[in-house]
Amino acid sequence: MSPTEHTIACCMHGFAPTDPSGLPLHEADPQAWAGIFSTLTDLDFTALEIADSHIRPADLSPERRSLLKELSTSAGVELTAVHVQRTSVIDPDHGEANLEYAHRTIDAAAELGCQVFSTGLHQPFSQAQRDALWFWTAKGWEDPDDPEIRSLAVQRLRELGRHAAEVGLPMSLEMYEDTYLGAAESAVRLIEEIGLDNVGLNPDIGNLIRLHRRIGDWREMHELTLPYANYWHMKNYQRDEAGDGSWFTSHPTTMQNGLIDYRAMVTRAVELGFNGPFLMEQYGGDSLGVCAENRSYLAGLLAQVQPTKGTTAP
């Protein structure tokens, strides 16, 4: 695979999940979807991740799902992934329903021609997170230190991974704080416990470096997780903290200007054989504009590194 063959997709954060009247984008007139694809092409994007916060492919009628695909194809925009978020399969109240929804989403992702099915173990926002300027500064859900619950996570994620394999899709699990995917060692162990070749990590270390608490070394986290990566949400944050741990601060920025050295990390990933899609992600401000800037930056990096043959998992 040459560097130019890597898919670089855009996230949906820059698009409102509802129209001015409050109608969800999921239920919107198809012209609203066409407008999204037009905006993306204006920004020179040729790929999009469908986030189920905006559109739930599994809950579209077959006719509307087909229309979504037709509109994207007509615009020259690939639907790279469907990302299921905040519907954890170990949610204490809705885990079984979330599992069933994930199964239906896998089938929908395959029908849409996606490259990957993406999910994780993050839970819905707490009220404190909904009230905060930046949700990661407030306390949210924590997966319990309970071997039985962790075993259930392995069991259900393995079930989803097998389904994804049956329809020809990799499954990628996003790293996210305070879940079993919330630290590099725990995330790698979870992938090894699932034990399927098509199940890998989304090493979104950006989710961790933004936290207003002590964090691990981002270089070490990448070194542990990149060998297992098959999809990559990429974003960066400026970060500062007191040496005595009395205060921490962070805010979103471009890939080039944040704490993570993506030149070094992308080079390392390609050395390890990473060949999955990249997803440009940004919170706040002109999210789409920053994603476009990051796409150009990443394309430049990929043009400078030589990929090696091999798989993305050991």
Q: pLDDT grade, residue 20 (50/70/90)? A: confident
Write down the pLDDT at residue 3: 40
Distance of CA 201 to the CA centre of its chain: 10
Contact in structure between 260 and 205 (CB atoms under 8 Å): yes
Q: 267-314 pLDDT, tens per residue?
A: 999 999 999 999 999 999 999 999 999 999 999 999 998 665 444 444
State both tokens at 300: 């430049």
pLDDT > 90: what percent of the chain? 94
Domain boundaries, the chain: 3-304
CB neighbour list of residue 105: distance below 8 Å, 6 or more residues apart: 52, 56, 57, 58, 82, 84, 117
- CA-based R_g, the chain, Å: 19
Segment 117-134 mean pLDDT:
97
Per-residue pLDDT for 219 more than 70?
yes
What's the pTM value of the predicted model, to 2 decimals?
A: 0.95
pLDDT digits 0-9 by tens, 139-167:
999 999 999 999 999 999 999 999 999 99
Long-range contacts of 303-310 (CB under 8 A, 24+ apart): 303/3, 303/4, 304/3, 305/3, 305/266, 305/267, 305/270, 305/271, 306/3, 306/270, 307/1, 307/2, 307/3, 307/270, 307/273, 307/275, 308/270, 308/271, 308/272, 308/273, 309/273, 310/272, 310/273
End-to-end CA distance of the chain: 18
At 58-99, the pLDDT tens digits run: 999 999 999 999 999 999 999 999 999 999 999 999 999 999
104 touches 162 (CB < 8 A): no
Q: How far is residue 301's CA from residue 181's CA, in Å, rounded to a whole number? A: 27
pLDDT of residue 312: 42
Q: What is the pLDDT of residue 4?
A: 47
CATH superfamily of 3-304: Divalent-metal-dependent TIM barrel enzymes (3.20.20.150)
- C-alpha 15/C-alpha 48 separation (Å) is 12
Average pLDDT of the residues of the chain: 95
Q: Which positions ≥6 away from 238 have C-beta within 8 Å?
A: 250, 251, 253, 257, 258, 259
